[in-house]
Amino acid sequence: MAEIFESELHSQILSIQEKLKSQSERLLIRERELKERNDLLIKQFSAIQEMEELLGKRQKKLQEKEENLEARERMISAKREQMEHVQADLEEKCDSLVTRNDDLMSQVLSLQSQIAKMKAKKKMDEHLKEDQLPLKTLTNSLMHWLTRLQLQANSLSPLDKTMKETTLAMSLDILPSLVNHMTLNHVTPSGVDTPELLTLLEFVHLSTSTLAEEEHHTTVITSLRRLGEKIEKFVPNENVQVDVLCSLISLHTITQVYKLANILERLTAVLKSSKVQQLFMLYRGMDAMFSLLKNEKQPVVLTSKVLDILIDLMPEPVFVERCTSRNYYSTVLSCLRRPSLHVTNLEKISILLQRTSKYRSVCHLLQSLNGVQTIKSSLIQNSSNHFVQLNLKSTLNNIDNHIINTTARTCRSE
């Protein structure tokens, strides 16, 4: 019995030893695995540290580059500001030089004008002293020659610079003595025969229309005013040619608003005749109208009466031919751009543009003068005026149709 018990105990001890041995082997294997994992973790940690160090170096380099870039940008900005200051200084100096040059040129031109006037006065005094021909005969012949020359030039082409300067100089020489002649000899409509009066008036009109394009000394302005007061007495006149000439001369010389308004009202009435229209165009009456329209300080009533004349003349072929010019439409568009333009005159200008825009040449002029943009701006500014809106939109439509037709003709020709 005891032997059996010892045998079982021994076998149990052996079994326990085997289990302990087996567990010891497993623990050794587990220990080796843990050691390997620990070694791997150490390697990975070292690799991470190396990557962090490399990343830190790269971030430092990137920061240095950013700082360098910011420094360069600051330097470029400073240089740009410096260059802008230098450019502004140069522009200011250039403007100053241009202004000084303009002042000097103005002084030179003024001196030249004074010298020319002094020479002309001296020459006239010498001629008067010689007294070889009667003043009346000399003046009449010279006026007749200049007038015919000017009328011939008007029928062919505008005055060139040399002819214009010559006409201007001779007009300045003769007009003062002519005013004195008319005053001292009491020239009146009943005291002068028609041929002599027409010659005198044609020359005066030529001179005043030429002088009206330039700025002059007070003496010349005074002479023109005196002349206008004298000529005004010839209106109205039974002779249509005398009547038209005196009216146009008065428009160039008189400054009183009520007198100008009366003259324009008379012209509106007499221009219904085809003969008067021909004389009006022959003597460049449209230039007087343009001159009045160009004056931004012109009273509303005068601008309105000028526009009435233009509207009345509009159906006439001679008007369309004479007014198809840059001068006319640049003047009309300039009026349309004025912020102070009275609504009545605005409506009349819209009528002019709408009716004349039916002509191909007019559409071409409006395009070249940036008239489309001006008309569109006026449409926006006067959106509440239905009449103006209707006329200006019709004008734009006519221009668009002209563009379409021109494009179509071009395509067909190609």
Provide the pLDDT for residue 194. Answer: 60
Q: Is residue 328 part of a domain?
A: no
293, 323, 353: which is the final residue of a domain? 323
Q: Is residue 399 part of a domain?
A: yes
Domain enclosing residue 354, as ranges:
338-414
Q: Where are the extended beta strands (E) located within 286-362?
A: none
Q: What does the pLDDT look like over 218-258, one tens digit per residue? A: 556 676 777 777 777 777 778 888 888 888 888 888 888 88
125, 148, 165: which is the final residue of a domain? 125
273 and 167 fall within a common domain: yes
148 and 257 fall within a common domain: yes
Q: Is residue 11 part of a domain?
A: no
Residues of the chain with pLDDT under 70: 1, 123-196, 212-221, 223, 318, 322-323, 408, 410, 412-414
Q: Is residue 54 part of a domain?
A: yes
Provide the pLDDT for residue 390. Answer: 93
Q: State the alpha helices, DSSP H only, in 193-314.
A: 194-211, 218-231, 240-253, 257-270, 274-282, 285-294, 300-313
125, 147, 182: which is the final residue of a domain? 125
Q: 185: which 2 tokens?
A: 């000899």
203 and 121 fall within a common domain: no
Provide the pLDDT for residue 347. Answer: 92
How many domains does one find in the chain?
3
Report helix, strand or coil for 238: coil
CA 393 distance to own-chain centroid:
22
142 and 117 fall within a common domain: no
116 and 184 fall within a common domain: no
Q: Is residue 206 part of a domain?
A: yes
Q: Is residue 13 part of a domain?
A: no
Phi/psi for 409 (5° steps) reads -65, -40
303 and 168 fall within a common domain: yes
Q: Is residue 108 part of a domain?
A: yes
Contact call for residues 237 and 246 (beta carbons, < 8 A) = yes
28 and 100 fall within a common domain: yes
30 and 67 fall within a common domain: yes
CA 327 distance to own-chain centroid:
13
Q: 402: which 2 tokens?
A: 């002209």
95 and 154 fall within a common domain: no
Q: Is residue 265 part of a domain?
A: yes
267 and 172 fall within a common domain: yes
307 and 359 fall within a common domain: no
190 and 297 fall within a common domain: yes
